[in-house]
Structure 1
Amino acid sequence: MTAAVLAGCAATQSTPPTFSGCRTWEQQAGAPHLVSVAVLSPELAKVIGVQEISTSRTGTGLAAVQTTVYNCSDVDVVLTMRTRFTGNRGQSEPPSAWKTVFLAPRGQATYGESAISQATDKVAVDINDGNRGQSQFAPGQTYQVPLK
């Protein structure tokens, strides 16, 4: 009987709960070392985080970027990621194609892209929901918030 009463009082949310100690994008947004990353889905910002973004030059001198993202939940998460390229005079080339990135529960993945224009000197990475705006967290489904 007590369990039934407690279950009726449990809080729910529209995204899966995250494990303790995992910093989500919602907590990281605005960090100086991550200003060139944009998470475009508010729901996604509650369950993923960005470990790092690094830029370099390829052997031919083109700009390259690598971004490591991680999943703070116990469910699979599918992302799409792309890179925007700029130079001294604005956009130096079109954005890259969206690439699908799969994050296993509590897993991480690294996304990478290289510029094709020598004029590129800055990059920015966009991260979006892999279901293109449709919630990947079962419509209408709620997730129980663990009691502390």
Structure 2
Amino acid sequence: MLRPLTLALLAVTTAAPALATENKTVSCRTYMARWAGSSGGPALVANVPSSMTPIDLNAVLFTDKKLGRKMIVEGLFAQRTPMNGLRVMARLVNCSKEKLVVQLRSNFMDANQLPTEAASAWKTVYLSPKATAVYEENSIGRAQVGAYLIELRPES
């Protein structure tokens, strides 16, 4: 007798839709991202010591300081494609109350930091206020791609 009741209750509870949660408006502390420092991984460094800031690889390079106060790279992803190329994605968050238009391109390198192909074309990404957007690029090179760098600039 108890078992049919338990099964009926289980059916009712599993059939009910999950409660949706509502996120609050995005709030960012962009200074924390700017102060994070180097990842400690591979980087492009000048032949003359201390002549330039090292550029972390497998990262996004902001070419404009003002953008770093308006947006954050929330996530950075890289995965091998079925053809053994490299697919990179960056999820961007607009922390400001204004629309942002940015451009991104990817550079792919081998393990010795030698380019495996020309930099990709600049792609324009539109970000609504307090919203996210995703940039994605695929390498042409296959297994020889060992690192990447995504450059981000304001729309020109």
TM-score, with length taken from structure 1: 0.69
Distance of 2:120 and 2:140 partners within structure 1: 10
Aligned length, in residue pairs? 112
Partner of 2:39: 32
Map 1:32-71 to 2 at 5 A: 32=39, 35=56, 36-71=59-94
1:84 has 2:107 as partner: yes
List per-residue Cα deviations over 1:81-104 (Å, max 9, x = no partner).
011110034111111100000000
- Aligned-CA RMSD value: 2.1
Partner of 2:151: 126
List per-residue Cα deviations over 1:31-71 (Å, max 9, x = no partner).
63994211111111110101010100001110110000010
Q: Which moved more, 1:117-126 or 1:58-67?
A: 117-126
List per-residue Cα deviations over 1:98-135 (Å, max 9, x = no partner).
000000000110100010012212111111001x2xxx
Distance of 1:108 and 1:27 partners within structure 2: 19
TM-score, with length taken from structure 2: 0.66
Equivalent residues of 2:26, 2:131 under 8 A apart: no
Distance 1:55 1:28, change over 3 A: same
Partner of 1:7: none
**Alignment gaps of 5+ in structure 1:** 1-18, 133-148
Give % identity: 26
SS, match of residue 141 in structure 2? coil
Distance of 1:20 and 1:93 partners within structure 2: 37
Stretches of 4+ aligned residues off by more than 2 angstroms = 29-35
Distance of 1:64 and 1:75 partners within structure 2: 30
Partner of 2:28: 22
Distance 1:95 1:108, change over 3 A: same
Distance of 1:80 and 1:66 partners within structure 2: 14
For CA contacts below 8 A with separation 6 or more, give which structure has more relative contact order: 1
- The structure with the largest strand share of the pair is 1
Partner of 1:16: none
Equivalent residues of 2:76, 2:89 under 8 A apart: yes
Distance 1:33 1:71, change over 3 A: farther
